[in-house]
């Protein structure tokens, strides 16, 4: 084969490979959420992940022109699995705290958060550390509320559960005296159920400090470009009304 023929063949092969390649390779991300935290993130009757966090994640992916897969991950392992590179970021109403910022990076805040107790009506009057001494308080393991209770109510009996729904079940069954959780979650979830008619939000509203600076999307610290892209996408969906439209599907009030 002559040199001229070889060069012609090489050019033909190069042209064919360029024609076969897409102009812009699609960006793909794997996203983790908890999947047991209605109305933020949970599975519907068909097993599909749905909820406010899921809708926000999909809107961000659309804005970033990325293809995304959203998976469920138990809360205890959600940060370790991120650091093990099992997915790219977490959209799960995660509180932004100094403790978590030692391990991961957070986007700009995308939701405010307030924590409050739920009790059977009239059963608790004194919500000071002294007043709750000896009371059984239910909370989700590894949550910001868990850390807060340990440090703020040291004489209470802290009863820890793996899932928010398990905490609610024990409160309704009166195996615990109080539940401590995100106020909005309790208001639009647990307290809307007929079997919870005898229960109510009670005591002071807690925020800031150990309870963090709102909620953010968590990702690995080294993923600086992804952080910038997510912050830009968040700003865009807040500016164009997408964020408010998603929120209106679930709540009769704003979250920011």
Same domain for 108 and 123?
no
Same domain for 89 and 139?
no
Same domain for 62 and 178?
no
Same domain for 222 and 97?
yes
- Assign residue 60 the CATH number of its domain: 3.40.190.10
Same domain for 101 and 216?
yes
Same domain for 122 and 50?
no
Same domain for 127 and 189?
yes
Helix 242-250, helix 224-239: angle, nearest 10: 80
* 2 is a domain residue: no
Number of domains in the chain: 2
Same domain for 144 and 178?
yes
* 196 is a domain residue: yes
* 19 is a domain residue: no
What digits encode the pLDDT tens for the residues 1-11? 554 444 444 44
Strand, coil or helix: 149: helix
Strands 215-219 and 89-95: antiparallel
pLDDT at 26: 80
The list of the chain residues with pLDDT below 70 reads 1-25
* 55 is a domain residue: yes
Q: Which of 151, 158, 147, 152 is nearest to 129 (CA)?
A: 152
Residue 22 has, within 13 A of its CA and on its CB side, a CA count of: 4
Q: Which of 26, 50, 24 is nearest to 38 (CA)?
A: 50
* 220 is a domain residue: yes
CA–CA dist 15, 1 (Å, integer):
20
* 71 is a domain residue: yes
Q: Are 33 and 54 in contact (CB under 8 A)?
A: yes
pLDDT at 113: 87
Q: Which of 96, 87, 63 is nearest to 230 (CA)?
A: 63
* Cα 150 to the center of its chain, rounded Å: 22
Same domain for 140 and 226?
no
Same domain for 58 and 183?
no
CA–CA dist 118, 52 (Å, integer):
22
Same domain for 53 and 129?
no
Which residue range is the domain that position 157 belongs to?
Answer: 115-211
* Cα 184 to the center of its chain, rounded Å: 14
* 174 is a domain residue: yes
* 255 is a domain residue: no
What digits encode the pLDDT tens for the residues 89-124? 999 999 999 999 999 999 999 998 899 999 999 999
Q: Which two tokens stand for residue 148?
A: 């807060």
Same domain for 137 and 206?
yes
Strand, coil or helix: 119: strand
DSSP lists the bridge partners of residue 50 as 42
DSSP lists the bridge partners of residue 180 as 117
């Amino acid at each position: 084969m002559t040199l001229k023929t070889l060069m012609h063949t090489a050019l033909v092969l190069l042209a064919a490979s360029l024609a076969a390649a897409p102009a812009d390779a699609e960006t793909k991300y794997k996203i983790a959420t908890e999947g047991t935290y209605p109305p933020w993130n949970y599975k519907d009757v068909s097993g599909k992940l749905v909820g406010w966090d899921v809708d926000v994640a999909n809107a961000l992916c659309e804005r970033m022109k990325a293809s995304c897969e959203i998976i469920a991950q138990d809360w205890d392992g959600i940060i370790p699995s991120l650091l093990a590179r099992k997915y790219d970021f977490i959209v799960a109403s995660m509180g932004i705290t100094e403790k978590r910022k030692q391990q991961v990076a957070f986007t700009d805040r995308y939701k405010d958060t307030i924590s409050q107790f739920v009790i059977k009506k009239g059963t608790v009057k004194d919500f000071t550390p002294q007043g709750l001494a000896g009371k059984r308080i239910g909370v989700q393991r590894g949550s910001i509320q868990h850390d807060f209770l340990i440090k703020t109510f040291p004489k209470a009996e802290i009863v820890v559960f793996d899932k928010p729904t398990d905490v609610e079940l024990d409160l309704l069954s009166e195996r615990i005296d109080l539940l401590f959780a995100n106020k909005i979650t309790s208001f639009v979830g647990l307290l809307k159920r007929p079997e919870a008619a005898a229960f109510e939000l009670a005591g002071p509203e807690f925020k800031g400090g150990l309870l963090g600076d709102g909620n953010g999307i968590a990702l690995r610290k080294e993923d600086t470009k992804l952080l910038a892209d997510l912050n830009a996408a968040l700003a865009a969906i807040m500016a164009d009304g997408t964020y408010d439209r998603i929120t209106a599907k679930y709540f009769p009030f704003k979250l920011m």
